[in-house]
Structure 1
Amino acid sequence: MSDQPSTSTSGTRRFRDRGQILGLGGMWLAKWALCLVLIAAGGWVVWNILGYLWVGVLPVLLAIVVSTVLWPPTRAMAARGVPQAAAAGITIAAFLAVLAGIVALIVPSVVDQSPELANKASQGITQVQDWIKGPPINLQDDQIDSAVQAVIHKLQASAQAIASGVFSGVSAAGSALVTLVLVLVLSFFFIKDGPRFLPWLHGVTGGRAGRHFEAVSIRIWDTLGGFIRTQALVSFVDAFFIGLGLVVLGVPLAPVLAVLTFIGGFIPIVGAFVAGALAVLVALVAKGWTTALIILIIVIAVQQLEGNVLQPVLQSRTMKLHAVIVLLAVTVGGSLFGIIGAFLAVPVAAVAAVVIRYIGEQVDLKLEEGAGTEPGPAVTNENDDEPGSAGLATAEAEAGSA
């Protein structure tokens, strides 16, 4: 008797032993393992190519994110008869004016209040040293000096690593200024020629593939735009309430800290934490423990409002990403590309989620189209050797198909 599984006229397969079933399962597992290995190899190749082309890839990614913000006013002006190029130019000019205004707001405050803040910090350090010398710690001056020198040496040794981590993403493009210029130029062309992209994509990929590319592109654009608008709203709420608390309590550099809170809000979870910690630290140095504790309560309350109300309600409509995925994306992006990586991590994760969801929808559509047209193969019991069992299975299959 042959060891191969028998097949009846109705397509029913009968297996003689467990080895045949395990063999089929092993072949299925091996096939998918090979597919995963090939996909991983392809991803590794693409990753290395992006590494070589990072000088050009980084400005393009940043320009796409910026374009999602600048596109709505450009579209509104174009709808009112303004030429597309003029609308894009006006939008870019307004964007530069906003950036210049932010810089003009920050720099004078830092210049005017930094000496006072430095004096407060020096007084705070002296108070801490006096407290450490007293009971119950009772440290001597030489012990304090050695500890301070150890901290200074540690900071000096880590300075290069800290700087390289902060500017690792930007240094690949040469400098922050070059990157900014490229981002602005690319953003201008993106919002100027954006409506031509989908027709061009159809012409390159053809009608069948172009339909899928168009659907995915529209979803990605909507997701990125929704992410930026949501983060801007959440960051504004954080900056407004925390900045209001800093102003009311008379904490120095309140406008600067509010702007940093707004910018930090675009790095989910991590950015808000760092900005809040910096505000508490400045309040501690400048105003003492009581003011710092009040600022800490304000920061915690605002972040609870953000984390439990604003982000779940707003981001669930745009990105639909779990908080764990957001945190992991920010951690991986920050460790690989510094601040730029942390900023781009969530948009990249959201884009990947959009593509995965679209693929899942297409798979579900194919399953729905094929449901009921082809009856699945029936598998008989492995010990079913009684005469007439094949005929019974055939009758059951025919009855099920009827």
Structure 2
Amino acid sequence: MIGEGLTWLARWSLRMLIVAAAAALAWWVLGALWVGVFPVLLALLVTSVMWPPTAWLRRHRVPSAVAAVIVLIGALAIFFGVLGAITPSLVSQSGELADSASKGLTDLQERAGQPPFNLDSATIDDGVESATEWLQARGGDIASGALAGASAVGGGLVTLILVLVLSFFFLKDGPQFLPFVRRVAGERAGAHLTEVASRSWTTLSGFIRTQALVSGVDAVFIGIGLVVLGVPLAFPLAILTFFAGFIPIVGAISLGALSVLVALVGKGTTTAVLVLVLIIVVQQLESNVLQPFLQGRSMQLHAGIILLSVAVGGTVFGIVGAFLAVPAAAVGAVIVRYLSEQANLRSGAVHPQDVRSETDEGWRAAERAERAYLQARSGTDQEPRPRAAADAHPTPPPGPLARLLDRLFS
């Protein structure tokens, strides 16, 4: 018994070592090709948002290329239209904020000369001169950082152009992808790939809609609070809060700090403290209640897995990893659940009627898995029970809250 156990352990240890080596090789290849992979991932997320209006246009006999162009131009028009809407507020109130900032600096200098600081003008001038000398001594480092920042901006523009071009092709030729996969991979493997890809696409679409809903809730509540407190640039800050919500962690912190700074300059310390409290309350509500609940439902992930994936992704890959961690974890969960489903079908634990397939190919793959189980059990080739309409949705009907969320995410 001990010998058989050690043999089993050695055999599976060797297999795991081979799998780990293959995973390390795939990780290295992914890192080498990341410049091309990253725009593809972003384009997939963008396409998941723009596909519903594109599909509507295609159903109304609009050519695929024209529909893709219309949707992309419409999305860009909405984006730049929002920026144009907030520009007048920025221009009209920036002068007032500059005057308030100048007055605030003057007040700060006067308070610095009073007890307990007792800093006279000469001391302040010496500090300013020391800071100037420090900046001049590190002019080379600052110039290098500026060049690196300019290079990053240029790389970002190139990535943005690639994302737009790839999104156009995905919107135009997206429905041809799964048939191409089935032709290349064959009927059996193509059926599995089609079903997994369809489920992953549904999960990604749910993630984007959920993130937009969460960011919208943040923008509405924070915008209302800024308006009530009389903070300048309340509407532009609310719009920027919505867009920053798509960048995990850093977006919320940076926009929150900007809102507090604007409140401090424009309305004073008391208003700035109230804005800080407002942002902390809204962010805690979003991160601990709203986002885990909605993302956990739309992607069928536990809130703990979502938080861990964001922490791991942000630690390993920074902002990009934090942004892509949740959809990557959701797609990984889809693959694991599908493999578990196939194992249950091949063991007879479930039947095709118990599986909610996204595609007809997925249903046929489930039938083949059950046919293999019946053949292994009886030694003869048996046909599985035919698909019935009543068996298509064996789960119990959803409750009222689930129906409301279905309407929001459908």
**TM-score, length-scaled by structure 2:** 0.73
AA aligned to 2:70 is I
Match of 2:78 among 95, 98, 122: 98
Q: How far is 1:216 from its partner?
A: 0.8
Shift of 1:263: 1.3
One-letter code of the match for 2:46? V
Q: Is the 8 A contact 2:215 2:242 kept in 1?
A: yes
1:284-333 CA-to-partner distances (Å, cap 9, x unmatched) read: 22211221122223323333443454324421222233444434443444
1:334/1:310 CA distance change after superposition, 3 Å: closer
2:408 maps to none
- Equivalent residues of 2:218, 2:241 under 8 A apart: yes
Query: Which residue is 1:196 aligned to?
Result: 176
Are 2:250 and 2:319, in contact at CA under 8 Å, matched by a contact in 1? no
1:355 corresponds to which residue?
A: 335
Please give the alpha-carbon distance, in whole angstroms, between the structure 1 residues aligned to 2:175 and 2:14.
41
Deviates more, 1:214-223 or 1:80-89: 80-89
- TM-score for both structures, normalised by structure 1: 0.74
What residue is the counterpart of 2:189 in the other structure? 209
Conservation of the 8 A alpha-carbon contact between 1:267 and 1:330: no
Aligned equivalent of 1:149: 131
Distance 1:37 1:306, change over 3 A: same
User: Which segment is superposed worse, 240-249 or 264-273?
Assistant: 264-273
1:233 aligns with 2:213: yes
Note closer, same or farther for the CA distance 1:339–1:159 as it changes in structure 2 (3 Å cut): farther
For the 8 Å contact 1:167–1:339, the answer to whether it is kept is no
SS in 1 for 2:297: coil
Give the aligned length: 349
Give 1:128 deviation, angstroms.
4.3
Residue 24 of structure 1 and its aligned partner are, at CA, apart by 3.8
Q: What code does the residue aligned with 2:72 have?
A: I
Q: Distance in 1 between matches of 2:321 and 2:287?
A: 22
TM-aligned CA distance change 1:349 to 1:84, over 3 Å: same
Confirm or deny that 1:32 pairs with 2:12: yes
Give CA-to-partner distance per residue, 1:342-400, whole Å, 9 cap, x none: 322322222222222222222333343679x88xxxxxxxxxxxxxxxxxxxxxxxxxx
1:247–1:361 Cα change, 3 Å? same
Q: Which amino acid aligns with 1:149?
A: A
SS at match of 2:298: coil
* Alignment deviations for residues 71-90 of structure 1 (CA, whole Å, 9 cap, x no partner): 00011121222222222121
Change (3 A) 1:144 1:50: farther
For structure 1, the residue ranges without an aligned partner over 5 or more in a row are 1-14, 16-20, 375-402
CA distance in 2, matches of 1:329, 1:318: 16
Q: CA shift at 1:48, angstroms?
A: 2.4
> Do structure 1's residue 266 and structure 2's residue 252 form an aligned pair?
no
**Counterpart Cα distance in 2 of 1:167 and 1:40:** 39
One-letter code of the match for 2:328? V
**1-structure distance, mates of 2:193, 2:4:** 36
Distance 1:163 1:238 in 2: 35
Return the alpha-carbon distance in structure 2 between the equivalents of residues 167 and 27 of structure 1: 58
Q: Which has the larger radius of gyration?
A: 1
Residues 314 and 321, structure 2, Cα contact 8 Å, conserved in 1: yes
* SS of 1:321 mapped into structure 2: coil
Determine the C-alpha separation between the residues in 1 that align with 2:143 and 2:89: 26
Spell out the pairing of 1:110-121 with structure 2 (5 A cutoff).
110-121=90-101
Retained in 2: the 8 A contact 1:266–1:343? Answer: yes
More relative contact order, 1 or 2 (CA 8 Å, 6+ apart) = 1
2:61 aligns with one of 72, 81, 84: 81
Counterpart among 18, 25, 48 of residue 45 in structure 1: 25
Q: 1:256 to 1:339 in 2, by over 3 A?
A: farther
Check whether the contact 1:77–1:87 (CA below 8 A) recurs between aligned residues: yes
CA distance in 1, matches of 2:8, 2:127: 65
Alignment-derived partner of residue 292 in structure 1: 272
Aligned to 1:10: none
Q: Equivalent residue for 2:40?
A: 60
Please tell me whether the aligned partners of residues 269 and 327 of structure 1 are also in contact (alpha carbons under 8 angstroms). no
Who is 1:247 aligned against? Answer: 227
Cα RMSD between the aligned structures?
3.5
1:257 to 232, 237, 254: 237
**2:348 partner SS:** helix
Pair 1:315-2:295 in alignment: yes
Q: Residues 308 and 337 from structure 1, CA distance in 2 versus in 1: closer, same or farther, beyond 3 angstroms?
A: closer
- CA 1:324/1:120 → structure 2, altered by over 3 Å: closer, same or farther? farther
Q: Distance in 1 between matches of 2:327 and 2:184?
A: 26
For 1:14-52, what per-residue CA distance to the aligned partner results, in whole angstroms no more than 9, with x for missing partners?
A: x4xxxxx2x444443443333333333222222222233
Cα distance change on mapping 1:121 and 1:43 into 2, 3 Å = farther
**3-state SS of paired residue (1:68):** helix
In structure 2, what residue type is equivalent to 1:79? R
